[in-house]
Each structure stands twice: as C-alpha cells, then as structure tokens.
Amino acid sequence: MIDFIQVAVSGILLGGVYALLSVGLTLIFGVVRIINFAHGELLMIGMYLSYLLFASIGLNPYLSVFLVAPALFAIGVIVQRLVIQPIQEASAMMKVFVTCGLFIVLQNLALMIFRGDYRTIQMDISMAALNFSGISVSLPRLLAFAAAVLIFGGLYLLLKYTFIGKALRAVAESRPMAQLMGIRVQRVNMLAFGLGAALTGIAGAFLLPFTSVYPTIGSIYTLVAFVVVVLGGLGNMVGAFLGGLFIGLIESFSGTYISPALKEATYFVIFILILLVRPQGLFGMGKGTEEVGLK
C-alpha cells in the first residue's frame, strides 16, 4: 500500500513538472494558434542556459530562473516575429514544415555546441528528500511542483485581471474581433510566444536539479507536452495543469508496474487513444482546434 502511495506521489510530482512545461504550449497555442513542434527545444534551451550559468559562475538554478526567463522571453518573441509571423496565414502544411524545421535547427545547434553527452549538475539539494511517514518526497521535484502551482496561479491572475491578460484572451477568443477592437494582434502574438517560452524556460531551470540535459531531450518533452495539452484541451490552462498531473501519474504507474523502458511508449499510445476517442480532451475544446485538425 505504501508502495502504491509512493508511486502515486512521485507521479503527482512528476505531473507538476509536466504541467509546468505544458502551460507555455497551451498558452502559445491558444493565442497564436500554432502547433509548435519545437516546443521542447525551448525547454532544452532553458535547461542549457541554466546549466551554463551553474557550470560557469556557480549560479543556483533556482536563482538563474531570473535570467533564464527573460532570455527565453526574448527568444520566443524573436521566433514568433521572424519565423512564425511570416507564415501565419499560410496553409497548415506549411506551418508544420516550418516548426519542424525550427525543431531540427535548434536540436542540431545544441548537438553542435554541446555534443551528445548528458550534462548533469550536482547540488546538495539534488538528492535531498523529505520523508512523510515512509513516503519519500524528492525535494527538487517538490520545488518544481510548487513552482508549477505558483506559475499557474500567477497566470490565472494575469489572464483574469490585467489588461495584458485580457488582450491575450481576446486574441485567443477571436483574432478578427480583437483586431476590430484595436488590439495589435501581432504584438499580442509575440507577447504570448515570449511568455510561453519564458514559462517553458523556467520549467527547464526547475528540471535541471534532477534531470540531465542532452541535445535531443527536446523531442521527448515536446511530445509529452502535446499529450498533456491535448488531454487537457488545447488552450485550456486548468486542463493543462490537470492533464500534466494525469500523465505524470500514468508514467509513474506504468514505469513501476509495466516496464520503465516502455513508459514513453505508454503515453504515446495514450496520446493516440485520446486523439481517437476524445480529441477535445477531458475539458472540452478551446477555440481554434478545427484549424489544427481536431474535429
């Protein structure tokens, strides 16, 4: 019984991380309406930046967040402006190709710079764990989970109460209407992409204490993020959070009770199943899903 709870707890903590990494994706999708195949690469960049700061000046990743977030924000804005915006009106096929190209470029750039090795950081905290009557709770994962909750909370408040949040929601609801209201949609798109990228970068910094970074780590996380986001409903924040937890639990249970090697295969299969059985996710469709091919 204890084991079961342990697996469940690990799953929830893992889920928090997945939620953190997926919130950026669902935000970007909700506003810009693009399926970004290079999303995981943003996480990878965040992780490498954090790693470099740690390796060179010994900056604690939890502090490097304050540098990584703005850096990724800038990168996100640049990507949106230079790569996505020119093809915003192009066919769906073209958008797939461009973001795929982006994913290939970024991943191989990392490969060129860092070679194929796994980079890990060692901190005192990496191995620390709290113990609650027999259930071990890894401290870095707990911190990541806490960060996820804080970020989601902050995002919720941002979207609900600030002007920026309202602009984001307006564009997410209806691009033409937002334009008619005088909202500079292109600026909002850049903002959304930048914000989404920054959030993903933060996720990377929080992942680093307990995950090794390597150039191709992006692909796996892109797919996880998509599974989470589709499960939760594209563009749906709450859905992304709950979806993340759900996938974390699935991975934890399948890794323990089925096979660790197949845990990725497990959630890909789930992904395909969700797309077939309930493509609108657990929490219903956000807007714009027809554009990307869900019915």
Partner 1 sequence: MKKLFFAVLALALLLAPLVIESSFVLHMFILIFFYIALSVAWNILALSGNVSLGHCAFFGLAAYTSAVLYIKLGILPWFGLVAGVAMALLGAIAMSLPMLRLRGPMFSLATIAFGEVLRQVAITWRDLTAGSEGLTIPFETGWLYLMFSSKAPFYYLFLILAVLSIYISHRLYYSAVGYHLRAIAADAEAAQSLGINTSRVQMIALFWSAGITGALGVFFTQYVYMIEPEWAFSMMLFSVQPVLNGIIGGIGTVSGPVLGAILMTPLGEYLRSYLGGLHQGFNFFVYGLILIGVVMVAPGGIFPSLVPLLKAKGWVRNGPQETTPSSPPGNPPSSKETSA
β-strand partners of 131: 136
Minimum separation from the CB atom of position 152 to partner 1 (A) = 24
* Complex with partner 1: residue 174 or 259, whichever CB lies closer: 259
Report the alpha-carbon distance of residue 283 to residue 285 in Å, rounded: 7
Minimum separation from the CB atom of position 22 to partner 1 (A) = 14
Report the alpha-carbon distance of residue 185 to residue 274 in Å, rounded: 32
Q: Which of 24, 2, 17 lies closest to 138 in space, CA to CA? A: 17
Minimum separation from the CB atom of position 270 to partner 1 (A) = 10
* Complex with partner 1: residue 103 or 206, whichever CB lies closer: 103
Report the alpha-carbon distance of residue 72 to residue 28 in Å, rounded: 14
Report the alpha-carbon distance of residue 109 to residue 50 in Å, rounded: 17
Minimum separation from the CB atom of position 250 to partner 1 (A) = 15
* Complex with partner 1: residue 2 or 93, whichever CB lies closer: 93
* Complex with partner 1: residue 95 or 141, whichever CB lies closer: 95
Torsion, Cα of 26, 27, 28, 34 (10° steps):
40
- Helix (H) / strand (E) containing 165: helix 163-173
Residues that bind partner 1 (CB under 8 A): 35, 37, 83, 86-87, 90-98, 100-112, 115-116, 215, 219, 223, 226, 230, 259, 261-262, 264-265, 268-269, 271-272, 275-276, 279, 291-295
